[in-house]
């Protein structure tokens, strides 16, 4: 009985150590943060304007690279934005996430940026190589 109790305690301790070693971003998981259906359906009004993509890249470097890395491949503070879990989301969902943020993962809200700039960030995300 003591051996089983000890083994169970060691197992729980091991799981706790592994869980604690992961960042909040990775524990919460990008795929569990869902945009509402109304946001999912929103269309990017600058999607067919390639001349505005450079603005999205500049905004990303100024506002997002601190957490997601210069190449958007992720850091301990923010996930890799080229992953399928991010890239498979609609433009509207990405816009909503950029706008509203997520306090559980440490993602700030960028609703203070004009809508066109937030849509430019979505365009920048779409231009990232898949990882």
pLDDT at 16 over 90: no
Secondary structure class of 63 (helix, strand, coil): helix
pLDDT at 19 over 80: no
For residue 3, the model assigns a pLDDT of 56
Distance from C-alpha of 115 to C-alpha of 55, rounded to nearest angstrom: 13
Q: Which residue's entry shows tokens 């909503």?
A: 96
pLDDT at 27 over 50: no
> Spelled out in words, what is the top-level CATH class assigned to the domain 2-127?
mainly alpha
Domain positions in the chain are 2-127
Question: Out of 10-19, 31-40, 55-64, which region has the weakest mean confidence (pLDDT)?
Answer: 10-19
Confidence of residue 32 (pLDDT cuts 50, 70, 90): confident
Question: Out of 52-56, 100-104, 121-125, which region has the weakest mean confidence (pLDDT)?
Answer: 52-56
Spatial contact of 72 and 125, defined as CB atoms under 8 Å apart? yes
Mean predicted confidence (pLDDT) in 71-91: 96
Higher per-residue confidence, 74 vs 51: 74
Confidence of residue 8 (pLDDT cuts 50, 70, 90): very low
Task: Compute the radius of gyration of the chain from its Cα atoms.
Answer: 18
Spatial contact of 122 and 113, defined as CB atoms under 8 Å apart? no
Q: Which residue's entry shows tokens 């943060």?
A: 33
């Amino acid at each position: 009985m003591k051996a089983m109790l000890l083994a169970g305690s060691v197992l729980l301790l091991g799981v706790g150590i592994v869980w604690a070693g992961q960042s909040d971003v990775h524990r919460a998981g990008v795929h569990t943060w869902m945009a509402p259906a109304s946001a999912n359906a929103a269309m990017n009004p600058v999607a067919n304007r390639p001349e505005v993509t450079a603005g999205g890249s500049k905004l990303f470097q100024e506002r997002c690279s601190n957490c997601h890395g210069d190449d958007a491949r992720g850091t301990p503070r923010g996930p890799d934005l080229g992953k399928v879990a991010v890239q498979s989301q609609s433009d509207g969902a990405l816009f909503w996430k950029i706008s509203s943020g997520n306090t559980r993962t440490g993602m700030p809200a960028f609703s203070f940026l004009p809508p066109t700039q937030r849509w430019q960030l979505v365009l920048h995300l779409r231009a990232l190589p898949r990882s």
